[in-house]
Amino acid sequence: MNIFLTSLLFLIPIIFFILSRTRKSSKRIPPGSLGIPVIGQSLGFLRAMRANTAEKWLHERIKKYGHVSKLSLFGKPTVFIYGQPANKFVLSSNNSTLVNQQTESTRMILGDRNLLELNGADHKRVREALVSFLKPESLKQYVGKMDEEVRKHLEMHWQGKQQVTVLPLMKILTFNMICSLLFGLEEGTRRDKFLACFQEMIKGMWAVPINLPFTRYNRSLRQSARVQDMVKELVHERRVQLEQKGASSHKDLITFLLSMRDEDGKEVLTENEIMHNVILSMVAGYDTSSIAITFIIRQLANEPAVCEGVLQEQQEIAKSKNSGESLTWADLAKMKYTWRVAMETLRMVPPVFGSFRKALTDTEYNGYLIPKGWLIFWVIPMTHMDSSIFPEPSKFNPSRFENQASVPPYSFIPFGGGPRMCPGYEFARIETLITIHYLVTRYKWNLCADNSFSRDPMPEPSQGLPIKVYPREIS
């Protein structure tokens, strides 16, 4: 009896404590429903993405539940958060609370030592190595090489054509630029073989979370193994060139990473880290940049006054060059209006819709509890279309970026922000400006298809944006 009473007296406060905590926590979990097990809201969301109504779909949630709500996406309990404070919360968070969360298929395809999989000190070390190559001071020496790639591309795919389809061509162009700068791989059959495997590989990147046809995923995995083999071979070749033939460490990204040493003289990155991160850079820079340039081309056809402004700026620069002379870093600095047009395009159609983080511990946001292990889904386009930040958001108006300090932090985020902000920003800026320079100074164009686009998950203009092209008289 005594033992029973003593145990009861001891247990009652503990039970009360646990109950009060559970009640308090469950009360603070965001509103919403997790839906049917496993499927949750995934199908509705994916349907909306394809129909390009994902923003509307999410706005309906916001109307119903507010700026923070729970749902289940791709089999995982998730909290959807929205708005500038939400972006700040996610993007500026440190590794001890929120970590990057990629899908299983992404990890399988890109390899487990790619930046997206790394956190803490490993993420910092690998990222710093990549940024040393991708920062403006380093990239400015490659402007001539990128210029050469654009000119070759136009001669091969645009010259003499009356109609072209922009998106597939921009994919070839961005692939070639990446191959040249990151892999030091010049044009030829090896590059073509690489492109074919690479395109098959990335088709399956989203297969598991989005489409569920496992054949596409398996094919993608097979191609991924071939891409890994090709990159491995390249890494070995570059090592030999570096060690035996005294190649410059600035030849390309692979050689640059191979030549990096820490203060003890040890290699900064392992061979797997080099392989997985050059493949990641290729994947991260391929669709995004080609889509951004494609939508700028679409926008220039839709906005004649804007196109005229870009043309004037670019013709001024062209006039200052001798025939056949490459653009330089100083020329790019003069392309201020063109870059504002690019930014406004990225605001209206950001290539990346959003991404996920995982809560490492019970985390609080806006008075709600995000339980440990749950995902956080943050999105880009909705803040970009917030009229309290960007007045008349549906109007294409590059002058919004004349005074960039007036744009509040964490509200223009096509490249993300904080410790995981896109390290390829400068690379994307250079390739975009050079491509637009040669396109507007050499061609006029108009659209052949309607103006609509869908997301899969990246935005794709209707039919890949077929356009009629007319050579421009050189004045």
Binding site, annotated residues for heme: 422
- Minimum Å distance from CB 57 to ligand HEM? 20
Class of residue 266 by CB neighbours under 10 A (exposed 0-12, middle 13-18, buried 19+): exposed
Return d(Cα 452, Cα 465) in angstroms, integer: 10
- Among positions 82, 427, 438, 453, the unique one binding ligand HEM when judged by CB under 6 A: 427
* CA-based radius of gyration for the chain: 25
415 binds ligand HEM per the rule CB under 6 A: yes
Query: 86-101 burial by CB neighbour count: b if 16+ within 10 A, else e?
Result: bbbbbbebebebbbbb
Nearer to ligand HEM, 318 or 338 (CB): 338
Return d(Cα 14, Cα 140) in angstroms, integer: 64
235 binds ligand HEM per the rule CB under 6 A: no
How far from the centroid of its chain's Cα atoms is residue 131's Cα? 16
C-beta nearest to ligand HEM: residue: 424
Count residues near ligand HEM (CB under 6 A): 23
Options 32-40, 228-236, 281-289, 389-397: segment touching ligand HEM (CB under 6 A): 281-289
- Give yes or no for a contact between 440 and 314, defined as CB atoms under 8 angstroms apart: yes
Q: Annotated binding site: which residue ranges?
A: 422
Return d(Cα 320, Cα 338) in angstroms, integer: 17
256 binds ligand HEM per the rule CB under 6 A: no
Q: Which residues pair with 461 in a beta bridge?
A: 453
Q: Which residues pair with 38 in a beta bridge?
A: none
- Among positions 83, 423, 457, 459, the unique one binding ligand HEM when judged by CB under 6 A: 423
Nearer to ligand HEM, 174 or 216 (CB): 174
Nearer to ligand HEM, 208 or 428 (CB): 428
Annotate each residue in 325-354 with x if it binds ligand HEM (CB under 6 A) or - if it does not, as one string. Answer: --------------------------xx--
376 binds ligand HEM per the rule CB under 6 A: no
- Give yes or no for a contact between 457 and 427, defined as CB atoms under 8 angstroms apart: no
- Residues 287 to 326: which contact ligand HEM by CB under 6 A? 288-289, 292
Nearer to ligand HEM, 390 or 427 (CB): 427
Single-letter amino acid, residue 66: G
- Among positions 285, 398, 457, 459, the unique one binding ligand HEM when judged by CB under 6 A: 285
Alpha helices, DSSP H only, in 385-454? 425-442
Q: What are phi and psi of 355, to 5 degrees?
A: -160, -175
Options 42-50, 55-63, 227-235, 414-422: segment touching ligand HEM (CB under 6 A): 414-422
- Residues 118 to 137: which contact ligand HEM by CB under 6 A? 127, 134
Options 41-49, 280-288, 317-325, 447-455: segment touching ligand HEM (CB under 6 A): 280-288
Nearer to ligand HEM, 216 or 338 (CB): 338
Return d(Cα 346, Cα 54) in angstroms, integer: 17
How far from the centroid of its chain's Cα atoms is residue 209's Cα? 17
Record the tokens describing residue 136, joined without a space: 């403006």
Return d(Cα 428, Cα 426) in angstroms, integer: 5
- Among positions 79, 258, 274, 428, the unique one binding ligand HEM when judged by CB under 6 A: 428
Return d(Cα 249, Cα 255) in angstroms, integer: 5
- Minimum Å distance from CB 417 to ligand HEM? 8
- Among positions 280, 306, 335, 440, the unique one binding ligand HEM when judged by CB under 6 A: 280
Would you state the torsion angle of the CA atoms of residues 417, 418, 424, 426, taken in this order, to the nearest 10 degrees? 80
The residue with tokens 């994902």 is 54
Nearer to ligand HEM, 83 or 216 (CB): 83
- Among positions 424, 457, 459, 461, the unique one binding ligand HEM when judged by CB under 6 A: 424
Report angle CA 31, 34, 35 to the nearest 5 degrees.
125
Residues forming contacts to ligand HEM in the complex (CB under 6 A) are 115-116, 127, 134, 280-281, 284-285, 288-289, 292, 351-352, 355, 414-416, 420, 422-424, 427-428
